[in-house]
């Protein structure tokens, strides 16, 4: 038996040129063979979208020196699928996504391309982690995120991960000396209060920008929003099975 | 108190011109005031994507005679958000999405624009149902789907729906006389075995089409795939909270 180095697939949703993915790469490369397949342009908010109505391109990239890397015209989930089925010649031991520029706490998991890439990895039976830093700045400071990523990559490669589950890791916007540690918790039941910014174009025809405020309505003390606010990084286990088992009995009594 | 007719918002992911949404409209209009906000082009596979990096357009459409209808340049989830926050002047009593041309059984919920529109409705606290017919044909026969939709729209408007949950309804490709009824069940743990069809363009540069087979690996007898195969329509309750509560204790023992 050949003792192979762990194979780690990295992707993200901010695109292959973002600071976040380069920070994650810097941490991951110490743990094994790293391959990068990431979008060629920002894919924030793409959720679990896949590209089925037009073909995808996959271009070799040299921006990670000495490392096999590709930019892809598709979504983060497309990148995971292409990574597994076209780029790699064996199943990766770990998929890591991010580090996202901006929080993916609470219900934002559903909209997040970063997290959807990790969910896709879990569906493939591969230990997968999505990392997000609660700072949208293009030049954000990823120092704490790199400390957290190092711990979790090491742990996941050593002990694997529960089946059918990936991890949603959020890191507060905080200095290293103020960082408190890691908490396992649930995703807050908090939502966007959406608005549309309606403007008129040069012909007087309206167009709409999605905007709004994120409302922390969940008063629970065991949520990601709660612990992020206290200076902790958070781990929320995320499952791909969305069946609401707890209401099945109620629906069976509908007699339809 | 004014006795208002129920307000029903209709969307889909196949676009405003598809046969499926017109079938759903034919059923729904008997139950109240219907408003349509649907994509101007096919959005299959868009999952829970939202449009944040460019603006959206919303154009009045006259293809549903006597009915307020808009085509939108965005995704199904964009349509729900625009419907609620820009088009309607009160919260709808029901959101219905579909009828999709093609199954959204098992784990396909995650990739489905049809179902993501319903999940978005549930996040807004609005009873929401996604309907899919297990037939991709553009000219598919929606007769059985219309029977199922009629029953469920009536029930949801009368009694509401469990909180935090929407319904994923799939209808078999079957003749009316062979249709067996409706089953409440779980989504099968079945997955795509993805492949990419790699071709070369006119310059010899490769491009990739996502393809593959859907594998029914779940041998359970209480899954949507099982009952569809037996000639039943299926209802799977879907929740937006993806936290995997059952593994939280295990993760807390990670000592990281």
In a domain, A197, yes or no: no
The length of chain A in residues reads 256
Q: What is the DSSP string of B160-219?
A: ---TTEEEEEEE-S--GGG--EEEE-BPP--EEEEEEEEEE-TTS-EEEEEEEEEE----
Has residue A32 got a pLDDT over 70?
Answer: yes
- Number of domains chain B is built from: 1
In a domain, A231, yes or no: yes
Has residue A218 got a pLDDT over 90?
Answer: no
State the smallest CA–CA distance between residue A187 and chain B in angstroms: 6
Question: By residue range, what is the domain housing residue A151?
Answer: 7-187+220-252
Write the CB contacts of A3 (distance below 8 Å, at least 6 apart in sequence): none
ipTM for the whole complex: 0.95
Chain A interface mutation, best of B241, B248, B250, B255, highest count of A Cβ atoms under 10 Å? B241
Q: What is the DSSP string of B41-66?
A: S--TT-TT----SS-B-EEE--SSTT
Task: Find the residue in A nearest to B182 (Cα).
Answer: A256
Task: Extract the tokens encoding B86.
Answer: 């820009």
Measured between beta carbons, the chain B residues lying within 8 angstroms of A56 are: 196, 207-210
What does the angle CA A47 – CA A52 – CA A57 come to, to the nearest 5 degrees? Answer: 90
Radius of gyration of chain B (CA): 19
Q: Is B82 in contact with A209 (Cβ distance < 8 A)? A: no
Nearest to B237 among A52, A84, A247 (CB): A247
Where residue B28 falls among pLDDT bands split at 50, 70, 90? Answer: very high
- A227: helix, strand or coil: helix
| Section A100-124 average pLDDT | 97
Q: What is the CATH number of the domain that holds A12?
A: 3.40.1210.10
| pLDDT at position B256 | 82
Measured between beta carbons, the chain B residues lying within 8 angstroms of A152 are: 256
Q: What is the DSSP letter of A6?
A: P
In a domain, B199, yes or no: no
In a domain, A215, yes or no: no
Q: What is the pLDDT of residues A182-205, one digit of tens each?
A: 999 999 999 998 999 999 999 999
In a domain, A71, yes or no: yes
Q: What is the pLDDT of residues B32-68, one digit of tens each?
A: 999 999 999 999 999 999 999 999 999 999 999 999 9
In a domain, A134, yes or no: yes
Q: Is A82 in contact with B244 (Cβ distance < 8 A)? A: no
In a domain, B18, yes or no: yes
Structural contact between residues B149 and B217, judged by C-beta atoms closer than 8 angstroms: no
In a domain, A196, yes or no: no
CA gap B106, A121 in Å, rounded: 17
Task: Extract the tokens encoding A155.
Answer: 């742990």
| pLDDT at position A2 | 60
């Amino acid at each position: 038996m050949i003792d192979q180095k762990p194979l780690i697939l990295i992707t993200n949703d901010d695109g292959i040129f973002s600071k976040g993915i380069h920070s994650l790469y810097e941490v991951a490369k110490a743990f094994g063979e790293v391959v990068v397949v990431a979008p060629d342009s920002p894919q924030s908010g793409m959720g679990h979208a896949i590209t089925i109505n037009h073909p995808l391109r996959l271009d070799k990239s040299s921006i990670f020196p000495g490392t096999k890397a590709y930019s892809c015209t598709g979504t983060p989930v497309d990148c995971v699928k292409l990574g597994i089925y076209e780029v790699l010649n064996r199943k990766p031991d770990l998929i890591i996504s991010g580090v996202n520029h901006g929080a993916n706490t609470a219900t934002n998991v559903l909209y997040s391309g970063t997290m959807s890439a990790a969910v896709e990895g879990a569906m493939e039976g591969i230990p997968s982690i999505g990392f997000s830093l609660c700072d949208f700045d293009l030049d954000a400071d990823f120092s704490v995120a790199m400390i957290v990523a190092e711990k979790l990559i090491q742990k996941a490669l050593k002990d694997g991960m529960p089946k059918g589950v990936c991890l949603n890791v959020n890191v507060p916007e905080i200095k290293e000396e103020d960082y408190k540690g890691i908490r396992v918790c649930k995703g807050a039941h908090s939502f966007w209060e959406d608005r549309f910014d309606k403007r008129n174009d040069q012909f007087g025809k309206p167009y709409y920008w999605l905007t709004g405020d994120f409302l922390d309505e969940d008063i629970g003390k065991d949520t990601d929003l709660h612990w992020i606010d206290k200076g902790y990084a958070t781990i929320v286990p995320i499952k791909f099975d969305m069946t609401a088992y707890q209401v099945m009995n109620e629906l069976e009594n509908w007699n339809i």
